Amino acid sequence: MSSMTGNKIKISVFGQSHSKGIGIVIDGLPAGKKIDIEKVLKLMDRRAPGKNSLSTQRKESDTPEILSGLVNGVTCGAPLSMVIYNENQHSADYNNIIDMPRPSHADFSANVRYNGFNDVSGGGHFSGRLTAPLCFAGAICMQILEDMGIEIQAHIQKIKNVYDDKIDYVNIGKWNTAEKVFPVINDEKGKLMIAEIEKARGNGDSVGGVIECAVTGVKAGYGDPMFNGVENQLAKNIFGIPAVKGIEFGNGFDATDLYGSENNDDFCIVDGEIKTTTNNSGGINGGITNGMPIVFRTAIKPTPSIFKEQNSVSLKSKTEEKLQIKGRHDPCIVQRAVPVVEAVTAITLLDVLS
Amino acid sequence: MSSMTGNKIKISVFGQSHSKGIGIVIDGLPAGKKIDIEKVLKLMDRRAPGKNSLSTQRKESDTPEILSGLVNGVTCGAPLSMVIYNENQHSADYNNIIDMPRPSHADFSANVRYNGFNDVSGGGHFSGRLTAPLCFAGAICMQILEDMGIEIQAHIQKIKNVYDDKIDYVNIGKWNTAEKVFPVINDEKGKLMIAEIEKARGNGDSVGGVIECAVTGVKAGYGDPMFNGVENQLAKNIFGIPAVKGIEFGNGFDATDLYGSENNDDFCIVDGEIKTTTNNSGGINGGITNGMPIVFRTAIKPTPSIFKEQNSVSLKSKTEEKLQIKGRHDPCIVQRAVPVVEAVTAITLLDVLS
Amino acid sequence: MSSMTGNKIKISVFGQSHSKGIGIVIDGLPAGKKIDIEKVLKLMDRRAPGKNSLSTQRKESDTPEILSGLVNGVTCGAPLSMVIYNENQHSADYNNIIDMPRPSHADFSANVRYNGFNDVSGGGHFSGRLTAPLCFAGAICMQILEDMGIEIQAHIQKIKNVYDDKIDYVNIGKWNTAEKVFPVINDEKGKLMIAEIEKARGNGDSVGGVIECAVTGVKAGYGDPMFNGVENQLAKNIFGIPAVKGIEFGNGFDATDLYGSENNDDFCIVDGEIKTTTNNSGGINGGITNGMPIVFRTAIKPTPSIFKEQNSVSLKSKTEEKLQIKGRHDPCIVQRAVPVVEAVTAITLLDVLS
Amino acid sequence: MSSMTGNKIKISVFGQSHSKGIGIVIDGLPAGKKIDIEKVLKLMDRRAPGKNSLSTQRKESDTPEILSGLVNGVTCGAPLSMVIYNENQHSADYNNIIDMPRPSHADFSANVRYNGFNDVSGGGHFSGRLTAPLCFAGAICMQILEDMGIEIQAHIQKIKNVYDDKIDYVNIGKWNTAEKVFPVINDEKGKLMIAEIEKARGNGDSVGGVIECAVTGVKAGYGDPMFNGVENQLAKNIFGIPAVKGIEFGNGFDATDLYGSENNDDFCIVDGEIKTTTNNSGGINGGITNGMPIVFRTAIKPTPSIFKEQNSVSLKSKTEEKLQIKGRHDPCIVQRAVPVVEAVTAITLLDVLS
């Protein structure tokens, strides 16, 4: 009851940053779906580090080995499982943090939760590396959703105080962010964001940002009321991505600046179908889809691993200590989290729609 | 799989706005806990409408009848169940919306979800009235948490663009909002908020706002990683409250304006215990509590029921129509949602801590 | 996590034998199903006591009050909830067992589980009375299954060493047991069974028996492998009926007397459809239905409440004591458990087929 | 929602008989438990085939590769995952059954369930081979239970009509069946059983049997009422073992031959503790443990794979056909299922006790 989620499509994520392997089991996939592994690898590659100066130089081979669930590349109804063997680990980099928790990481809370037996190395099970299996599973779910005419796109809405273009919640269009190394709609804004990241990196510091995700093609009438609505399930799962600290749907927090008459989405008839003229609801009312695009944003805090010296404590001696984090770290993980948000969205929606 | 939630403490909510009754079952409560019904009624009363011009004049008796689970006022380990009989219903007020969905309500999405068989009257199962049983259950869970030294408080952080006092995430203090008709920390700010609500009401319009909740006394080490962390579970359940469109923990979305060095919570030793000097994490790292106060905010959109004429459609004829909502509605539900947020937080945390 | 079960159709049972009320919430029913309340009451009445000398003379009005989930007698998609108010309680009859657990009842194990705070009166939440809400829910599920062409029948297969007619697992036929006060296929055998029950009653003793249940009309291909198969789910739920101590499918334990060549069900073609010539598998292979009738038997132990003096202990003084059970008790509950088995089967199968 | 089970300790089983690998994820294990891998391998080895003429000559290396969850052999709180790579597969042996389902196997029901896309080879996900991961997980859970003073033992109670010694449900004693190739209490009876198996094998036929399992050291007060009792959970999970067709606790079906006065377990005081003089309840009342040994039996049908020619059908042409099963099969799997029953019992009880 922790690294498993889902009602009809269930996933079970396993692995630690420096364990022998990491992976995932997907239970409940429909049988008879041909899986395009190239597309799976492509989504995983968008998350992979080591591409440029913005992300850690650590190399991850990240080659998923599928253990079960496919027969000749087609889902057979049995759980689809996958392992990625870990390589290129620098566990020694973590020797000093065994006793000295990194600020705003899970080191301390996990130490208490697991009586000091948690795997500290590389962040253990709390490492961002565990999002690689999520991308794998998400890419598979995405292909099944695409067959239903559903498309999931995400972009960086902001890095620090640089914003990408504002999107139209009613007409989403094609963002092509899956094709870009830096997934923004407006590449000029992207350059400014990159400049912010470079600046933070130069200072041994880090920045965060907001990822906006839009889903088109989901018909009205999916989701269950109260605790099993689309918002509930997406929120539950999106908070499974490390560094996420907030989620909002449609207008979200900005709705609180508006009057009801401004925020309400009027109904209209478009080509004989019931639509809304605006989409401040983000495609969901009462937890149930209304046929408009699903739109949500999620806040990614600045990477807690920074090279600046920080104040920590010794867990053993309970004394205050100075901490200098070693290893290879991203000054910003937002760009790498974009495909992860898409993947978790795909996993969640396939569950909701199954 | 909808109006039930929880892992160890499970709740099952039932009822429609105008059905014979509404209620809740709480399954898994520890045995031997004396329940103070007066305190339960007090929390429920904070949610009840009809107190002043800010909320609907509809009277709800809201007297919970406990059917099981208590023996001489003490929990006996069997499911604790409760019903509130509905009275004072004006179902006729909803005749026109059977065919004409109210903008930004669940009328349309539920119509599709349930093939037109959903209970439209009063919003049916999607009505804010269903939060009364949540308050009942939350008040019971809160008493058990209080015995563990845990305190849950919430206040209106903002109504439209009027903000309550900024709180100190490290030292929460006593807000006394549970004693106030309008639950703000700074009553002067409260007056300005009320003025905003009155203005909206005068225009047949509505406003929303943000509720901030703080929980003190939760020790470090609670919650499970990935999908069963405290953030995941709170988010899943808080989105079960109607009109919620966003949730953020600690600094939340504002963390994206900061550098890692600004947002990270340095560790320190206070009275021999490991604490953090700031609490931008909102008391949770990696889904697990770190011993600092849990702090989160949730966005409540402007009440979708407004008296201004709106654009709707006829479900039957698929033509565009003008809609005039009748009945009694709140120009703002934020003040009434404050105890509901506290209640859902209590239900969730008792589950996490059990 | 106890009195709730189900994946897609979930139920939540509440109440104690002598609490104000008992009832059930059914979450996830499809919308738009017209419910015939007369048929619901008829199934509940088959379980009701007080009909003749075979069962307790205690009168239960057992009138279910539906609180929500129906609009004009049609399911609306919201949780369907029901309460039965308890009357005619003789709590005083249970005064002596508060300190002296009844052999083979849950009194002692529940006392330990709930630290002495469990509701002892009438057996509390462990009372057979809690099967009334199961009958209510089962009768509703059964109607929906009937619309799919599915029929559930059960009969008393044996009372002590008197057996009803052996059934043909391939051709089930009509048993009409739902129309009989004593639900056997062969009424002559029924008379012999009744004689056994009367004999036990005369001696202040009790007897048990086996209930056999058959389900026709379920197509092949339902159920999930390993832990979510039809056998798993039926077993999990059937053991929720008090006094059940065993369950077996198809040939069950008797299969162990046979060779594989005798026990295997050969395939054949009947009217162009794939069937089996025998049905020793009881309609299920690998947890998944094969299109043949589902057949299973469940063992109901002799009613533990007997009037003969028994050896018990004082929980307080930990001394051995003689116990004389008071009150009104059934010398045999098998006949009353027959509709309960049908009901739990209906609840489980509607979940599996949803 | 199929090959996953558990509430607090959850497992996720994956793999097909001839997929690249099979394995399991165990989520929720307590941190800080040292795991003795030798003991794990020993339990797995008891299940392994190829030991003698009684079981298939197929060699399984069955070397579990642990991917995560342990740090220096100690559980770290993260999901413990394991893979066994499949080798020595004779998929060609299954060519003829792709179109011709084997009687009383899951071939046909799975074909319908998965629209013909199920992995037929070696039985796919329905193969008895999938019990190897269960043994792995069970052996780990067993070690944790042993630290709590809990011991799980199983023996073959019968093969066809040869019975092992009757056990005393109150005083279980040491069976040493874990040390025996043929796990019976009385080796003389074991020889007679083996003779029955050899006879079946000689005829190209198979036999089944009953496995009896006893658990000592579980204190009173574990389990939840109705649907989450120890019986419910054990039954749900034990039916996850292929070929299981029945389960009974304590006296089980035999209780229906007795009077209540014979079947009831009188209470007594032993060394100041409340015990029962008999244990016909099998250690469980109302789903909750009563402190006496947990005793249950499970029926294993004769292996459906036999070498005698059988009647099957062509799925494609829907014609009746003769089927000759090829490959290597066990004339009896009961002896190999004994450690599997112990393993699933350990998994279930650790969940119940967590």
**pLDDT one-digit tens code per residue, B7-32:** 999 999 999 999 999 999 999 999 99
pLDDT score at C91: 63
Q: Which amino acid is at D16?
A: Q
Nearest alpha-carbon partner for D261 in A289, C103, C279 = C103
Contact (CB, 8 A) for D123 and D89: no
From the list D200, D246, D288, the residue facing C113 with the nearest CB is: D288
**Is D232's pLDDT higher than 80?**
yes
**Is C59's pLDDT higher than 60?**
no
**Is C89's pLDDT higher than 70?**
no
Q: Which residue of C10, C107, C236, C295 to mutate against D (max D Cβ within 10 Å)?
A: C236
Mean pLDDT of B41-45: 96
Mean pLDDT of B95-109: 91
Chain A residues near residue C28 by CB distance under 8 angstroms? 224
pLDDT score at A92: 66
What does the pLDDT look like over A262-280, one tens digit per residue? 999 999 999 999 999 999 9
From the list B225, B242, B280, the residue facing A126 with the nearest CB is: B225
Among chain C residues, CA nearest to A226: C78
Contact partners for chain D, using 3 or more CB pairs closer than 8 A, are A, B, C
Mean pLDDT of C225-254: 98
Chain B residues near residue A126 by CB distance under 8 angstroms? 225, 286
B306/A105 touch (CB, cutoff 8 Å), yes or no: no
**Is B1's pLDDT higher than 60?**
no
Chain B residues near residue A282 by CB distance under 8 angstroms? 245
What does the pLDDT look like over B245-263, one tens digit per residue? 999 999 999 999 999 999 9
C28/A225 touch (CB, cutoff 8 Å), yes or no: no
Among chain B residues, CA nearest to A353: B113
CB-based contact (8 Å) between D4 and chain B?
no
From the list B67, B76, B125, the residue facing C83 with the nearest CB is: B67
Chain A to chain B Cβ contacts (< 8 Å): 379
Chain D residues near residue A1 by CB distance under 8 angstroms? 6-8, 10, 27-28
B69/C19 touch (CB, cutoff 8 Å), yes or no: yes
From the list A8, A12, A20, the residue facing D25 with the nearest CB is: A12
Three-state SS annotation for D204-270: CCCECEEEEEEEECCCCCCCCCCCCCHHHHHHHHHCCCCCEEEEEECCHHHHHHCEHHHHCCCEEEE
Asked whether residue A354 is assigned to any structural domain, the reply reads no
pLDDT score at C327: 75
Chain A residues near residue B247 by CB distance under 8 angstroms? 235, 246-248
Show the tokens assigned to A204: 């041994």
pLDDT score at D62: 78
Distance from CA of D72 to the nearest CA of C (A): 32
Among chain C residues, CA nearest to B31: C114
pLDDT score at B101: 96
Distance from CA of D282 to the nearest CA of C (A): 9
pLDDT score at A2: 84
From the list A19, A116, A121, the residue facing D67 with the nearest CB is: A19
Q: Which residue of A117, A120, A129, A352 to mutate against D (max D Cβ within 10 Å)?
A: A117
Question: Distance between CA atoms of C310 and D260, rounded to whole angstroms?
Answer: 11
Residues 6 or more apart in contact with residue D200 via CB below 8 angstroms: C259, C260, D206, D207, D302, D331, D332
Q: Which residue of C27, C29, C80 to mutate against A (max A Cβ within 10 Å)?
A: C27
3-state secondary structure of A10: strand
pLDDT score at B58: 52
Among chain B residues, CA nearest to A257: B160
What does the pLDDT look like over C294-343, one tens digit per residue? 999 999 999 999 999 999 999 999 999 999 988 778 999 999 999 999 99
User: Is 0.95 topped by the overall pTM?
Assistant: yes
Range of B248's domain? 4-348
Output the average pLDDT for chain A. Answer: 94
pLDDT score at B79: 98
Chain C residues near residue D223 by CB distance under 8 angstroms? 109, 113
What does the pLDDT look like over A49-97, one tens digit per residue? 866 666 655 555 679 999 999 999 999 999 999 999 998 666 666 677 7
pLDDT score at C87: 84
From the list B106, B160, B248, the residue facing A256 with the nearest CB is: B160
- Radius of gyration of chain A, Cα coordinates, nearest whole angstrom: 21
Asked whether residue A204 is assigned to any structural domain, the reply reads yes
Question: CA-CA distances (angstroms) from residue B247 to A104, A188, A239, B292, D150?
Answer: 19, 31, 11, 19, 45
Question: CA-CA distances (angstroms) from residue D119 to B295, D18, D103?
Answer: 50, 9, 17
Torsion of Cα atoms, D150 then D227 then B33 then B229, to 10°: 80
Chain B to chain C Cβ contacts (< 8 Å): 182
What does the pLDDT look like over A293-304, one tens digit per residue? 999 999 999 999
Strand partners, D276: D267
Distance from CA of C25 to the nearest CA of B (A): 7
DSSP-H helix ranges across chain A: 37-47, 107-113, 131-147, 187-202, 230-238, 260-263, 334-353
D20/A118 touch (CB, cutoff 8 Å), yes or no: no
**Is C124's pLDDT higher than 70?**
yes
Confidence of residue D98 (pLDDT cuts 50, 70, 90): confident
> Is this complex scored with an ipTM above 0.90?
yes
Asked whether residue B353 is assigned to any structural domain, the reply reads no
Chain B residues near residue D78 by CB distance under 8 angstroms? 225
What DSSP string describes C258-297? SBHHHHS--EEEETTEEEES--TTTTEETTEE-SSPEEEE
CATH number of the domain enclosing D248: 3.60.150.10
Nearest alpha-carbon partner for D252 in B154, B162, C228, C210 = C210
What does the pLDDT look like over A186-209, one tens digit per residue? 999 999 999 999 999 999 999 999
pLDDT score at B92: 66
Range 98-117 of A in CB contact (< 8 A) with B? 101, 103-110, 112-113
Name the least confident of B182-191, C120-129, C281-290: C120-129
Query: What is the domain count for chain C?
Result: 1
CB-based contact (8 Å) between C164 and chain D?
no
Confidence of residue D329 (pLDDT cuts 50, 70, 90): confident
Range 249-288 of A in CB contact (< 8 A) with D? none
From the list A3, A77, A121, the residue facing D27 with the nearest CB is: A3
CB-based contact (8 Å) between D225 and chain B?
yes
Question: Distance between CA atoms of B335 and B300, rounded to whole angstroms?
Answer: 10
What does the pLDDT look like over A12-48, one tens digit per residue? 999 999 999 999 999 999 999 999 999 999 999 999 9
Output the average pLDDT for chain B. Answer: 94
Range 27-86 of A in CB contact (< 8 A) with D? 27-28, 31-32, 65-71, 74-81, 83
From the list C161, C232, C303, the residue facing D240 with the nearest CB is: C232
Show the tokens assigned to B251: 């600094």
Distance from CA of D41 to the nearest CA of C (A): 23
pLDDT above 90 coverage of chain D, percent? 89
* CA contacts within 13 A on the Cβ side of B291: 19
Chain B residues near residue D224 by CB distance under 8 angstroms? 28
Torsion of Cα atoms, C23 then C24 then C25 then C30, to 10°: -120
Mean pLDDT of A346-354: 97
Question: Distance between CA atoms of B134 and B152, rounded to whole angstroms?
Answer: 15
Chain D residues near residue A71 by CB distance under 8 angstroms? 16, 117, 119, 121
pLDDT score at B329: 81
Stronger pLDDT, D326 or D320, i.e. the higher one: D320
**Is A310's pLDDT higher than 90?**
yes
Asked whether residue B83 is assigned to any structural domain, the reply reads yes
Among chain A residues, CA nearest to C6: A7
Contact partners for chain C, using 3 or more CB pairs closer than 8 A, are A, B, D
Distance from CA of B40 to the nearest CA of C (A): 19
Contact partners for chain A, using 3 or more CB pairs closer than 8 A, are B, C, D
Neighbours of A277 (CB within 10 A): 12
